[in-house]
Amino acid sequence: MQLGVIGLGRMGANIVRRLLRNNHECVVFNRSPNKVKQLASEGAIGAYTLDDLVQKLDKPRAIWLMVPAGDPTEDIVMELAQKLEAGDILIDGGNSYYIDDIRRANALESKGIHYVDIGTSGGVWGLERGYCMMIGGPETAVQHLDPILKTLAPGVGTIDRTPSREKVSGTAEQGYLHCGSSGAGHFVKMVHNGIEYGIMAAYAEGLNILHHANVGKQQRAASAESTPLRNPEHYQYDFNLPDVAEVWRRGSVIASWLLDLTAIALLQDPHLSTFAGRISDSGEGRWTITAAIDEGAPAPVLSAAVYQRFSSRDEDEFATKLLSAMRYQFGGHIEEHAEISS
């Protein structure tokens, strides 16, 4: 099948490569022509303007966008809306806000253009492992794209089948799912990313407790401003965190792919010295919490994970200073200053 792909970053380029490996035809465009030339050298058909890409695609066209959410996606969708024709399919495979999907789908529907939103998970590993895809949009358009989706998906692979799953029809077991109408794919992907935040935070907090399990060996000056460690003899452990992460991978109930990646990271850099610890959030976590509030659905773990990312960027610095100021005002408490190493 033929597919146009716009956006040749790490995921976009690997999506093209996976399709090329399986004999699909890809017409590719990127703002940077060097990325187009690279994939053209690997078998794709290069396009150097949006008009060029549209002209090189057979009708009805199918175009997959893999560009950053927000204005970059909005600009390209609006530009393509003037170039595509009734019956064409426009796919947003990035991490757009599902509410934007609903608006875009309605606008394009008036022109007869089908809009499909696909939440795509798999990251830089997707070329070999395949991509988990959560899909929203009209049924006929999704069915038309099935050869592409089947190729990009991981398939059943080596994962144990869910008991009795063979009695259930559909594509979920293959790693892709038509979740519902416009916006449904990105809604499910949004919550997926919110869960990801929570799982990552749980691993980070647990391993941090193990990291500090030798606190009893440290000399601490007595101070009325901090609670002393009551039983330092209980905290004399020097855990090998790469080994702990590795053993957890082997049959434990908290084993997961995220733990696999954690084990790799700790083995490569046990002290994580190459990382600053300032964690970005790309939006999906915030949107998940907004949806939870609108629904009245409690999500304390996911909310805390989002706020932890804010704290990592010192967004709470004023608040913590104000807490210190209030303690000084009501009790004369003077906080210890952090030692600055030279």
- Per the CB < 8 A criterion, the answer to whether 157 and 168 are in contact is no
Instruction: Name beta bridge partners: 180.
Output: 136
- Per the CB < 8 A criterion, the answer to whether 95 and 284 are in contact is yes
Q: Which of 25, 74, 173, 196 is catalytic?
A: 196
| b/e burial code for range 57-87 (CB count within 10 A of at least 16 → b) | beeebbbbbbbebeeebeebbeebbeebeee
| Nearby residues of 295 by Cβ (< 8 Å), 6 or more positions away | none
Cα separation, 170 vs 326, in Å, equals: 59
Tell me which residue of 325, 337, 286 sits closest to 307, measured CA to CA.
286
The yes-or-no answer on residue 196 being catalytic is yes
DSSP 169-192: -SSGGGTEEEEESTTHHHHHHHHH
For residue 158, give the 3-state DSSP assignment: coil
By annotation, the residues acting in catalysis are 189, 196
